Chain A
Amino acid sequence: MGRYVVRRLLQFIPTVLGTLFLLHYLTSVAIQFGGNPVRSLFGDRTPPPEQLRQMTEQFGLGDPCLTRKGDWCIELFGQRLQNIFLHFDFGQSLSPRRDVTAVLADALPYTIKLTLIAFVVEAIIGLSAGTLAGLRNGKFSDYVVRIATVLMISVPIFVSAVLAQKFIGVKFGNWLRTDLGAPDWLGRGLFGAAYKPEYPFISLILPGIVLGTLTIASTARLTRSSLLENLRADYVRTAKAKGLKSTRVVGVHTLRNSLIPVVTTLGLSIGAYMSGAVVTEGVFRVPGVGFTIFRAIGQGEPMVLLGITTVLVLIYLVLNLLVDLLYAVLDPRIRYE
């Protein structure tokens, strides 16, 4: 197991560097071909060149390599790496002038809460639906689950977020409040249209569920197919031949094997949540990381965008590493490769 851990760590480092470089390169090319993003802050007016130059410097976009199309901007990359790993500096926002790390520190707790709710929803519903469908293969409940999951996958998250907000949040919430006289926490909190600071947890439940629907479908499908595959495996026949009860055969022998691929894709869900959070927080106005990204696009704060994305990429890579190690814990065959 130790050798496996070491090997994974050694693979981890070049991957981190590679991905950070990819992000750097793609955004640099975007600036090279798209023009100075600072320029767009001025809208239709033409700023005096000196002011433009100063602002560009302040944004950290002053490096001349950004004007040469196709330039790899290696020096800039080196500079950015140093900032990140030596000074923990991911850039600054311009108005107000703050470190990206400070902005993130404010926003992260909301997103973490939201993601946790989504994760719990996904795990509970996804795993049970998938197990149910797998055990009752071919029967009615199997079809129901399969249809439901296909529908869930087909509805883009912004559609479900908007629909959930308008119909459940606004219409249903209003109806509860005005027509039924329901308590405020129910009408405005739980079934509200947006995040309310006076109900910090409850008003996150609806957006959390919406975010969770993103991955419920794939978790359920994966659990189902993994279970089906394992139910037909040879070792199941052996377990039956040993005279073990069928509850034990399925519950102990099959389940453990079936869960392995599922657990590891739960790790991949994190990437989906990061993307989905942008939409969900945007629609429900949750002041988290996703909303910050949302606003940074609208306000034209390229460095904030780049800084936050860098942090998220690092988090994603670390989490994936942990998931890989977890996989080795669960599946002994991997440890000795």
Chain B
Amino acid sequence: MASTTEIQTRLDPSIPGTDPHAALLAVEDLRVEFRTRIGVAKAINGVSFEVNSGETLAILGESGCGKSVTAQAIMGIIDSPPGFVTGGRIKYRGVDLLKRSKEERRQIRGNKIAMIFQDALSALNPVFTVSFQLTELFRKHRGMTRADGKKRAIELLDLVKIPAARQRVNDFPHQFSGGMRQRVMIAMSLALDPELLIADEPTTALDVTVQAQIMALLRDLQRERNMGLILITHDMGVVADVADRINVMYAGRIVEKAPVYDIYAKPSHPYTKALLESIPRVDLKGQQLNVIKGLPPSLVRIPAGCAFSPRCRFVQDVCKADPPPPLYDVKPGITSACHFWEEVRGDE
């Protein structure tokens, strides 16, 4: 990022032991549970995936499937109690973050791995100006002065295409429109040139046209910086344009992994298939809308075997018995956690 100001780096936050050849982020068999009054909710049950620089991975699923918790686990900001990481590894360039000290994780946050949230209005502090909230990143992580930080803040606002950045930097979050606020959040996340950006439902709270703009912005920024991008969403339409690969999550597990075209063309898991079928289509006028009958299970009482079996139309007895289906290799790059993936793929 071109800048006329000299950056004084107070400390280099890269952790010793990182392997430049390892994947940017590798999550291995992650397990997270929440201990609540009514029981232990298994929010994440053995999730594994990788993201590399320049790649966009989308994590797709309904509310409550564990996708946001995954993001929070990577960032290390799960409310604990009641949430606890009970197993697995989160490897940033080969270094397991879960084994690192709180202080080391804190230094990576915002610096190497950044996150943007769904509702920018509540995610930004209402009583501080945008300038303050941007500048504090530079002051606290890089030791810059307030004046230098402010200059960088204005540059960042320009970067995310907020007009009149020099004036608007002194405004408060509620003075921006929804789309502009989201851009501010994106600017904030990119301030320290992170290598990985996690976007948790970045466009859910926005109008459709603004959605498109924001997604285009994210795509451009990612390409410029060769960042890894994890996009968390429940909206299949948003994903198609931006993602390279998709992980579909259900009840705390990944049920299908595939490149984006393959998912849409030929899904390999009944849940993915049902999701696709439930998208209303303009050319099928007059027909009933498809829904997935039933509700997602309570994470305190996940059914034995495949968690989706109560709602699945391909279900057989073996699906209802433990152990739950593993991720079968369907094709190179495609896996599915369904015993009957062949049938699913063949079904028209």
Direct contact of A and B (CB under 8 A): yes
A336 with B107: in contact, given A234-B123, A238-B123, A256-B127 (CB under 8 Å)? Answer: no
B122 contacts A241, CB within 8 Å? no
The answer to whether the Cβ of B75 comes within 8 Å of any Cβ in the partner chain is yes
Q: Is the CB of B124 within 8 A of A235?
A: yes
Q: How far is the CA of A237 from the CA of B124 in the complex (A)?
A: 9
* Chain A residues, Cβ within 8 Å of B136: 242, 244
Asked if A331 lies at the interface with its beta carbon under 8 angstroms from chain B, I say: yes
Residue of B nearest to A257 (CB): B127
For A231, the closest partner residue in chain B by CB is B79
CB-nearest residue of chain B relative to A242? B110
CA distance A253 to B136 in the complex (A): 11
Contact in complex: A240, B126 (CB < 8 Å)? no
Decide: B107 and A243 in contact? CB cutoff 8 A.
Answer: yes
- Which of B106, B126, B174 interacts with A243 by CB under 8 Å? B106
Closest to A230 in B: B125
Task: Determine if A333 and B106 form an interchain contact, defined as CB atoms under 8 angstroms apart.
Answer: no
Interface membership of chain B positions 102-142, coded 1 if the CB is closer than 8 angstroms to chain A and 0 otherwise? 00001111110011010100111111100000001100110
Q: Quick one: CB contact mask for B157-181 with A, threshold 8 Å, 1 for yes?
A: 0000000000000001011000000
**Contact between chains at B174 and A242 (CB < 8 Å):** no
Contact of A248 with B by CB under 8 A: yes
Interface residue ranges of A217-269 to B (CB < 8 Å): 233-235, 237-245, 248, 253, 256-257, 260
- Alpha-carbon separation in the docked complex, A239 to B174 (Å): 17
Measured between C-beta atoms, what is the minimum distance from A29 to chain B in Å?
46
Contact status B122-A240, CB under 8 Å: no
**B75 close to A235 (CB less than 8 A):** no
CB < 8 Å neighbour of B175 from A241, A260, A336: A336
Is A330 in the interface zone, CB < 8 Å from B? yes
Q: Which residues of chain A come closer than 8 Å to B125, judged between CB atoms? A: 235, 238-239, 253, 257
In the assembled complex, the Cα of A248 lies from the Cα of B109 at a distance in Å of 15
Which residues of chain A in 14-53 are interfacial with respect to chain B, using CB atoms and an 8 Å cutoff? none
Contact A237 B174, CB 8 Å, known A243-B108, A243-B141: no
Contact across chains for B140 and A331 when beta carbons are under 8 A apart: no
The reply to whether the CB of A332 lies closer than 8 angstroms to some CB of chain B is yes
- B250 smallest CB distance to A (angstroms): 24
Residues of B within 8 A of A245 (CB): 106, 140
B175 proximity list for chain A (CB < 8 A): 336
Interface range for A: 20 to 34
Contact A234 B115, beta carbon cutoff 8 Å? no
**Contact between B140 and A248, CB atoms less than 8 A apart:** yes
Instruction: Kindly identify which residue among B114, B126, B140 contacts A241, using a CB–CB cutoff of 8 Å.
Output: B114
Which of A238, A239, A245, A257 has its CB near the most chain B CB atoms (within 10 A)?
Answer: A238
Flag if B126 contacts A257 (CB, 8 Å): yes
How far, in angstroms, from A272 to B108 measured CA to CA in the complex?
Answer: 50
Shortest beta-carbon distance from B195 to chain A in Å: 14
Instruction: Assess whether B172 is in contact with A332, with CB atoms less than 8 Å apart.
Output: yes
Chain B residues, CB < 8 A from A239: 125
CB <8 Å contact, A238 and B124: yes
- Kindly list chain A residues whose C-beta atoms are within 8 Å of the C-beta of B185: 238
Residues of B within 8 A of A260 (CB): 127
- B321 lies within 8 A of chain A by Cβ: no
Residues in chain A near residue B126, CB distance under 8 A: 235, 257, 331-333
Interface contact A241-B110, CB-CB below 8 Å: yes
- 1/0 per position for B27-57, CB-CB distance to A under 8 A? 0000000000000000000000000000000
B319 at the interface (CB under 8 A from A): no
Residue with the highest number of chain A CB atoms closer than 10 Å, among B109, B126, B174, B175: B126
What is the bound-complex CA distance between A244 and B141, given in angstroms? 8
A235 to B136 CA separation, bound complex (whole angstroms):
14
Please report which residues of chain A, range 288-337, place their CB below 8 angstroms from some CB of chain B when the two chains form the complex.
Answer: 330-333, 336
Give Cα A294 to B306, complex, Å: 78
Flag if B140 contacts A233 (CB, 8 Å): no
Contact partner of A238 (CB less than 8 A), chosen from B117, B127, B172, is B117
Q: With a CB–CB cut-off of 8 A, which chain B residues contact A244?
A: 106, 110, 136, 140
Residues of B60-85 contacting chain A, CB below 8 A? 75, 77
Q: Which residues of B contact A330 (CB under 8 A)?
A: 127
Residue B188 CB within 8 A of the other chain: yes
Determine the distance from Cα of A336 to Cα of B77 in the docked complex, in whole angstroms: 33
When the two chains form their complex, are residues A333 and B140 in contact, meaning their CB atoms are under 8 A apart? no
Q: Which residues of the partner chain A approach B107 to less than 8 Å between Cβ atoms?
A: 243
Smallest CB separation, A231 vs chain B (Å): 10
Contacts of A39-72 to chain B: CB distance below 8 A: none
Contact yes or no, A243 B123, CB < 8 A:
no
The answer on a CB contact under 8 Å between A240 and B127 is no
Q: A244-B136, A333-B174, A336-B175 are contacts. A235–B108 as well, Cβ < 8 Å?
A: no
Given contacts A235-B125, A257-B125, A332-B127, contact A241 B172 (CB under 8 A): no
Taken together as a complex, chains A and B put the C-alpha atoms of A117 and B137 apart, in Å, by 41
* Cα separation A267 to B115 with both chains bound (whole Å): 40
| Alpha-carbon distance A257/B115, docked complex (angstroms) | 23
Known A238-B117, A336-B174; contact A233-B127, beta-carbon cutoff 8 A: no
The 7 closest A-B pairs by CB, nearest first: A243-B109, A243-B110, A234-B122, A242-B110, A235-B125, A241-B115, A332-B172
Interface set of B (CB-CB < 8 Å, partner A): 75, 77, 106-111, 114-115, 117, 119, 122-128, 136-137, 140-141, 172, 174-175, 185, 188
Report 26 cross-chain contacts, Cβ distance below 8 Å, ordered by A residue: A233-B122, A235-B122, A235-B123, A235-B125, A237-B77, A237-B117, A238-B124, A238-B185, A241-B77, A241-B109, A241-B110, A242-B109, A242-B110, A242-B188, A243-B107, A243-B111, A245-B140, A248-B140, A257-B126, A257-B127, A260-B127, A332-B126, A332-B174, A333-B126, A333-B127, A336-B175
